[in-house]
Every structure is written in structure tokens, then in C-alpha cells.
Chains A and B, each alone.
Chain A
């Protein structure tokens, strides 16, 4: 079965704290892609990152970093020194190549308090 689990429904932290959003996936495909999208209150899904299953190198982009671990089927997202503008719903997604279909987790609502 193909599945994405975001166990954290809501997270609230104070500005400047670090926060990690968890994502666990299930797939039988050996070739797949993982994504993180941000959905601010405006509603648009904003692409953040894409990772393929053969590239386990962690990535850092400014205050954002991603930790991909195939051994635990996890693709976690960390925001360092959070800001109020980071408040949004964040979705992890899995694209499995056998069906070229993307499935989304249920999302984590992140609130950053000033």
C-alpha cells in the first residue's frame, strides 16, 4: 500500500524556536519521489522540495532543512529560527512511479506565535 502519515496534526511554537515536522511514508516501489508543500491561508500549495528515492543526501535551504532516511521511511522537515510567516499547513507527499500518482499526507498545521 502507498501511504503518507503526518502524525502531528497541529504544532504551535514561539517565534525563533526550531520546529520539526514529521513525515513517514509507505511504498513498495523502489523508485519514488517525496515532496513537501506549504499551504498558507491564501490556499495555494507552494512547492518546497522534491527528493528522489536514490538520493538520501540531506538538504538545507536557508532556514529550512530536510532529513531523508530510507531505513525508517521518513522525510522530516525542520524550520530553524521559526518566523510568524512560516505559519501554514505543511503537506508531505509521495509520488510512486508505478502509477505516476501523488498522494498527500493529511497535513500539519504550524502556528508560530510572536
Chain B
């Protein structure tokens, strides 16, 4: 079974530029998550989708970050404009979440390492 796919793996941009990351979850997984992991810290949830609807985006800096999952499968996370403090690894995860079975385990992709200069 293929895992969570993410691209690109690395990205270097200058501050005030825009950047987009792509994620394709494990086939059949209803829930998709985007996390930000700053060096030396644990991942922090940015946004959670259930199919194509947003479940939680309370920690997403909406003035510069946006995310979509239009067809309920793959997803794009965008930063516009980027700041120096956005330098981090952006991790995508997915979980199956069968109704009535409780919240399932999240499986993570390899991440995109973003450097903002």
C-alpha cells in the first residue's frame, strides 16, 4: 500500500515570495492533516480536513496560509507571502476514520523542508 506522498521535498524561497506544497494521502483515507514542525519541536497542527470539508483550522495563520482539498483526495497548502519564521518542515498526514470506530491512527508523509531567506 502506498504511503502519504508529498512534494516537493525541499524548497528555498526569499521572504515575501509565495510557495505551495502538495499532498496525496493514503488511498481511501477520509481525513487529511497539515502540520508545521519547527526545528527542535514537535509537529503542530495547522489544518484538518474531513473529506473536502475543514474540521479544524484554528491554528492556521489565515492572513498568509491557505489550504484546500477540493475533491476530497489530494490537498495543497499555500503560503503567501512567506516570512522568515515560516522556515520549517511541513508534514502531511492522513487517517482512515471509519464512522463509529473513533479516530484512527495518523500516517505521515516525508514532509517538505521549507527555508525562507
Dominant secondary structure of chain A at its interface with chain B: strand
A99 to B91, CA, bound (A): 20
Total interface residues in chain A, CB < 8 Å: 24
Instruction: State how many angstroms separate the Cβ of B97 from the closest Cβ of chain A.
Output: 9
A37 touches B108 (CB 8 A): yes
> Is A106 an interface residue when CB atoms closer than 8 A count as contact?
yes
A101 touches B45 (CB 8 A): yes
A45 touches B105 (CB 8 A): no
Instruction: State how many angstroms separate the Cβ of A90 from the closest Cβ of chain B.
Output: 11
> Is B102 an interface residue when CB atoms closer than 8 A count as contact?
yes
A44 touches B108 (CB 8 A): yes
A43 touches B111 (CB 8 A): yes
Instruction: State how many angstroms separate the Cβ of A33 from the closest Cβ of chain B.
Output: 7
B interface, CB within 8 angstroms of A: 40-45, 48, 55-56, 89, 91, 93, 102-103, 105-111, 113
A interface, CB within 8 angstroms of B: 4, 33, 35, 37, 42-47, 50, 91, 93, 95, 97, 99-107
Q: What would 11 A/B residue contacts be, using CB atoms closer than 8 Å?
A: A33-B103, A35-B105, A43-B111, A47-B107, A97-B103, A100-B55, A103-B45, A104-B44, A105-B42, A106-B40, A106-B41
